[in-house]
Structure 1
Amino acid sequence: MRLVFAGTPGVALPSLRALLDSPRHEVAAVVTRPDAPAGRGRKVERSPVAALADELGIEVLTPAKAGDPDFQARLRQIRPDLCPVVAYGALLPESALSIPRHGWVNLHFSVLPAWRGAAPVQAAVRHGDDITGATTFRIVKALDAGPVFGVITERVRERDTSGELLDRLAESGAKLLLSTVDGIEDGTLRPVEQSEENVSYAPKVTVEDARLDFAGMPAAALDRVSRAVTPDPGAWAEFRGERLKLGPVAPVDEEGLAPGEVRVERKRVLVGTATTPVALSDVQAQGKKRMAATDWARGVRIGAGERIS
């Protein structure tokens, strides 16, 4: 089939490569978000999907909005049979959805109808789900509510960060998306309407969502939240009035620390919580490089009773 692939971040690349490698399909163009500032220097960069397309000589479409008339006119000229989507990052109006003959098919990183929305993997880790997965479905006007073509499942490991889990789902999901496109082409796959029972939503994670409240949260919740927001936007708290970026924290089966109180040991740094302490992994103070928590603690010379809040 003639395809136009829509995606933006690196997590979309395994799916794009799988479609490019398939002898059955032609990726005529890609749709991605416009170039944007990235990194510490805020240099304007191409999205990972655009960069790969540039390297391979594939046409790149970067509309500010998918409702842009010029973009839709060009899409009609390309005449795609189907538009596969992975983490594109923008809403698709009905005027765009109607252009490809077989519509737009999205690879979403949850087992729908659980965790519809922008951050399904982060939600699965934050809420302590044992199983998550990926779903392919036809895009409709309602958010992630279209009929389902296929599903895979994936166990959430005990120390998974959202980044690690998403990397695995991106690889296994690419195979699911390719098999979905194959099935649509040969007519063997028919979508099944989603249940409207047990629907849950996963909105975009904000920086404030990533703050660790050592005084108000138990160790188990701090563990899940810190892993859910790693690597993006990254967990943080405050120490001596400044923001302190934190890697995932791990519960420790000990007692004796007040909420937020820091204790430095030879091989670990513990912080009290609303229940039992947690151990810090890595730390990044403002203007400093990321380092092991023990190295940070020795450098700042933490006094008795000092707290992270």
Structure 2
Amino acid sequence: MSLRLVFMGSPDFSVPCLKALVDAGHDIVCVYSQPPRRAGRGKNERNTPVHDAALELGIEVRTPKSVKSEEALNEFAALEADLAVVVAYGLILPQALLDAPRLGCINAHASLLPRWRGAAPIQRAIMAGDDVTGVEIMQMEAGLDTGPVMASVSVDITPETTVGSLHDELCEAGAKLLVEAVAQLEAGTAKFIPQSEEGIEYAHKLTNEETRIDWSLPARKVRQHIHGLSPFPGAWFEMQTPKGPVRVKVLEVADSLGEGNAGEVLDDKLLVACGKDAIRIKRLQRAGKPVMNAEDFLRGNDLTEGAIIA
């Protein structure tokens, strides 16, 4: 058997979940996604990744700016869905919409709730130095990521983990978990457990002010900050050049021993002193240039021992 589903999602993270539900044989009657937005140098309108994936699958796509109007709610209810599946959709859903499907709405969220409710759970988990995160499937309710949980999977965070690598791990794990959760709902065997009232943390949206590297922090914190923003939006420092300061993103680093003033380059292989210990930069990107490893970067940029970056 299969369920009649509405899928609601927008970014790359949501696409494997959509495809997994289709592969499992469910009838996706409609996909909701964020409206196309202008992006790139030409400022042309671009669909969300979920929008494009749905079109490739031959599924109807709707992109309302809001789902709170009476018209939007009536259109949603007319789909007569058994269940709505929400994965990083990006709009607040009113209670009337949550109540419309026969089995309600479930959400796949990229954290181990109640830790990291909100907009940027993958980034915040790495930046905070968490050892583990995961994906949980919860029943949606009016609060922000507050609903009872029915399924969970954990993924380790190591010193080498970046947002990019963790995103991909959670995509794969989350898609598999979601299919299993929908099967439980279909069979009537799903059990929902209320979230704990302890350990609540909010994964607030990232701000531009957070992306600059603070070399005065201990090396471990600097590494967590850099990896928690890699590859996007990217943590950065300024490098002095004959033409003035240039912004350089740092994408991959490793903790190392070293001593010096914060931001001081300690050798000719991009070892940089922090408030405690040092960071070995492994991959970085000068503004307007491709991503390079440290060795290639140093061939065309003067960051020798004794230089100061900020």
TM range (shorter): over 0.9
Q: Separation in 1 of the partners of 2:116 and 2:108?
A: 13
Partner secondary structure for residue 75 of structure 1: helix
Which residue of 2 is the match for residue 249 of structure 1? 253
Cα drift, residue 226 of structure 1: 0.6
Percent identity for Structure 1 against Structure 2: 39
Please tell me the residue identity of whatever aligns with 2:186. E
Q: Separation in 1 of the partners of 2:224 and 2:121?
A: 14
Q: How does 1:55-70 map to 2 (within 5 A)?
A: 55-70=56-71
Please tell me the residue identity of whatever aligns with 2:265. V
CA RMSD of aligned residues (A): 1.7
Is 2:241 the partner of 1:238?
no
| Greater mean alpha carbon deviation, residues 65-74 or residues 219-228 | 65-74
Please tell me the residue identity of whatever aligns with 1:258. N
Q: How does 1:258-269 map to 2 (within 5 A)?
A: 258-265=261-268, 268-269=269-270
Q: Separation in 1 of the partners of 2:117 and 2:82?
A: 26
Q: Separation in 2 of the partners of 1:47 and 1:282?
A: 28
Q: Deviations over 1:168-215 (max 9, x none)?
A: 11111111111111111221112121111111111112222221111x
The question of whether the paired residues in 2 share the 8 Å contact of 1:115 and 1:201 is answered with: yes
Cα drift, residue 86 of structure 1: 0.9
Which residue of 2 is the match for residue 95 of structure 1? 96
Which residue of 1 is the match for residue 114 of structure 2? 113
Which residue of 2 is the match for residue 18 of structure 1? 20
The question of whether the paired residues in 2 share the 8 Å contact of 1:162 and 1:231 is answered with: yes
| Greater mean alpha carbon deviation, residues 50-59 or residues 289-298 | 289-298
The question of whether the paired residues in 2 share the 8 Å contact of 1:235 and 1:248 is answered with: no
Q: 1:305 to 1:253 in 2, by over 3 A?
A: closer
Partner secondary structure for residue 203 of structure 2: coil
Q: Separation in 2 of the partners of 1:87 and 1:6?
A: 8
TM-score (normalised: structure 2): 0.92
Q: Deviations over 1:13-65 (max 9, x none)?
A: 11111110113x21101011011133455432111111111112110010112
Partner secondary structure for residue 163 of structure 1: helix
Please tell me the residue identity of whatever aligns with 2:297. W
Partner secondary structure for residue 118 of structure 2: coil
Q: Separation in 1 of the partners of 2:292 and 2:194?
A: 48
Cα drift, residue 156 of structure 1: 1.4
| Greater mean alpha carbon deviation, residues 89-98 or residues 50-59 | 89-98
Please tell me the residue identity of whatever aligns with 2:248. L
Is 2:237 the partner of 1:219?
no
Which residue of 1 is the match for residue 39 of structure 2? 38
Q: Separation in 1 of the partners of 2:125 and 2:41?
A: 29
Q: Deviations over 1:50-95 (max 9, x none)?
A: 1111112110010112214433222122111110111112211223
Partner secondary structure for residue 262 of structure 1: coil
| Greater mean alpha carbon deviation, residues 82-91 or residues 62-71 | 62-71
Q: Separation in 2 of the partners of 1:210 and 1:287?
A: 17
| Greater mean alpha carbon deviation, residues 144-153 or residues 298-307 | 298-307
Cα drift, residue 278 of structure 1: 0.9
Q: Separation in 2 of the partners of 1:198 and 1:156?
A: 18
Partner secondary structure for residue 78 of structure 1: coil
The question of whether the paired residues in 2 share the 8 Å contact of 1:61 and 1:71 is answered with: no
The question of whether the paired residues in 1 share the 8 Å contact of 2:270 and 2:303 is answered with: no
Structure 1 unpaired stretches of 5+: none
